[in-house]
Amino acid sequence: MIKVCKFGGTSMADGTNMRRVAEIIRSDPARRYVVVSAPGKRYGGDVKITDLLYETAKNVRETGSTGEAFEKVKDRFRGIVAELALDFDAETMLLGTEAEILRENSEDFTASRGEYLSARVMAELLGMPFIDARSVVKFDAEGKLDGERTFGLLREALKGKPRAVVSGFYGEDVNGKVKTFSRGGSDISGAIVARAAGADLYENWTDVSGFLACDPRIVKNPSRIGELSYKELRELSYMGANVLHSESIFPVREADIPIRIKNTFRPEDDGTDILPTSKYRFTGKTVTGIAGKKNFTVIFIEKSLMNAEIGFTHKVLSVLLKHHISFEHMPSGIDTMSFVIDSEELKNGVLEEICEDIRQAVSPNNLRVHDDIALIAVVGHGMSRNVGTSARLFNAIARAGINVRMIDQGSSELNIIVGVDNENYENTLKAVYEEFFNET
Ligand code: ASP
């Protein structure tokens, strides 16, 4: 049995937490490979090491020196090493890193040093070898993960090492330069190591006991999701349920490796299991989780006999392509079609230009724009098993007096996405949660 464990920023925040991490790893011999984030916040208002490093990169760019921000980084690590009473030369490591940061003068390199340093400290604490992600995680010319090379190199590096600590968040590009994943990317690194190690389980240790069925800032004490499938996770995390980086499923999915979300501060809690869709068992719940996001714009296009006009969609999509705009959803009818787009992408006159170009391209009878739209995704394999789910959903929203602006039901019957005005977002989430989770 092999478990790959990734520990997030709060789990690595200080020496006490790192000791906890070490205890967790030692308590189960299957926990053989460890992937770590940079130290995160120790308390509300504290600054994450990675944020300090982005500030350091800015200082280096603008003034040629690492500045106050890197002083804080060094002090945090000095504190951690002292607290752990480790007998290793942290000073040389920190000063060497500072010199490299100045030499490289690259934002990605600087940002990656949080993971590099925390993995080195963790390796020391656990007495395990350290594997630098730079030597095993490789990106291709387009900046995407080069899976084939990465898995090959990692397998080679893990061979003969029954245990190891690997730094998260970064790898190396085709020019030999360090490149990071997007923020929160150590989750992806953990998944990559799990895949290369042929792990039976990818444990992702964080500061919450798993996924909640709804945003706890909006619904009080939502229930915890015990099990969900990769597909459900993808839908929920895409919509902002951000316990896990939304790209971290891909490396493990192909190898059918389950992910378990665990809480470093309450290791006895069950957490959430994310299972390959093929291994997923129906839990009896109609809806697994509800998530949502605000601030979308819907461009609604109507034209009689649209269905018979060959190339209609192509022409509209060409307009989006020309403006480099990606869309999130495209609900359509016989004579209607709409595009749901993140409002951020349509600022500074872009929306007006797109509408004009669409008018030119397809001469619609009607073109309308709704902005300030929130999307709510109601997700669950159980929805396709239970007759009347959508009736329940829309009745609940109607009872709350909320007008539905848009509906999109994915073809997998796994989710229904509802668009409402931003101002109705919270009340819609509450109404839908009440309907499906407070069944008495
Ligand atoms: N340290 C990085 C961040 O703060 C990556 C991670 O923690 O996963 O985004």
Mean pLDDT, rounded, of the chain: 93
How many angstroms separate the alpha carbon of residue 391 from the centre of ligand 1? 41
pLDDT, mean of residues 340-359: 95
Whether the predicted pLDDT of 410 surpasses 80: no
How confident is the model at residue 241, as a pLDDT?
Answer: 72
Ligand 1: atom nearest CA of 185 is 8
Q: What is the dihedral of CA 424, 429, 430, 436, to 10 degrees?
A: 140
Ligand 1: atom nearest CA of 51 is 4
pLDDT, mean of residues 335-339: 92
How many angstroms separate the alpha carbon of residue 13 from the centre of ligand 1? 12
Mutate-to-test residue for ligand 1 from 21, 35, 50, 113, highest number of ligand atoms within 8 A of CB: 50
Whether the predicted pLDDT of 242 surpasses 80: no
Strand partners, 19: none
How many angstroms separate the alpha carbon of residue 166 from the centre of ligand 1? 14
pLDDT, mean of residues 181-198: 96
pLDDT, mean of residues 11-37: 97
CB atoms within 10 A of CB 117: 26
How confident is the model at residue 244, as a pLDDT?
Answer: 85
Cα→Cα distances 191→1, 117, 127, 271, Å = 16, 20, 23, 18
How confident is the model at residue 439, as a pLDDT?
Answer: 63
How confident is the model at residue 75, as a pLDDT?
Answer: 97
How many angstroms separate the alpha carbon of residue 421 from the centre of ligand 1? 33
> In this structure, what token pair is assigned to residue 253?
């999915």
Region at 370 (left for phi over 0; alpha for psi -120 to 50; beta for the rest): beta
Residues with CB under 6 A from ligand 1: 9, 37-38, 48, 50, 114, 168-169, 183-187
Ligand 1: atom nearest CA of 186 is 8
Mutate-to-test residue for ligand 1 from 137, 169, 205, 264, highest number of ligand atoms within 8 A of CB: 169
pLDDT, mean of residues 138-144: 96
How confident is the model at residue 308, as a pLDDT?
Answer: 84
Beta-carbon contacts of 421 under 8 Å, excluding residues fewer than 6 positions away, are 372, 373, 374, 403, 405
How many angstroms separate the alpha carbon of residue 51 from the centre of ligand 1? 9
| Closest residue by CA, ligand 1 atom 6 | 184
Q: Are strands 31-36 and 164-167 parallel, antiparallel or unpaired?
A: parallel
Cβ atoms of 205 and 5 closer than 8 Å:
yes
Cα→Cα distances 287→229, 379, 384, Å = 12, 6, 10
Cα→Cα distances 353→315, 326, 328, 346, 357, Å = 15, 15, 19, 9, 6
How confident is the model at residue 383, as a pLDDT?
Answer: 86
Q: What is the dihedral of CA 156, 162, 167, 169, to 10 degrees?
A: 70
Beta-carbon contacts of 3 under 8 Å, excluding residues fewer than 6 positions away, are 28, 30, 31, 32, 33, 199, 200, 201, 202, 203
Prediction pTM value: 0.85
Identify residue 214 by its one-letter amino acid code.
C
How many angstroms separate the alpha carbon of residue 47 from the centre of ligand 1? 12
For residue 288, the SS3 value is: coil
**pLDDT digits 0-9 by tens, 98-136:** 999 999 999 999 999 999 999 999 999 999 999 999 999
Ligand 1: atom nearest CA of 183 is 9
pLDDT, mean of residues 344-355: 94
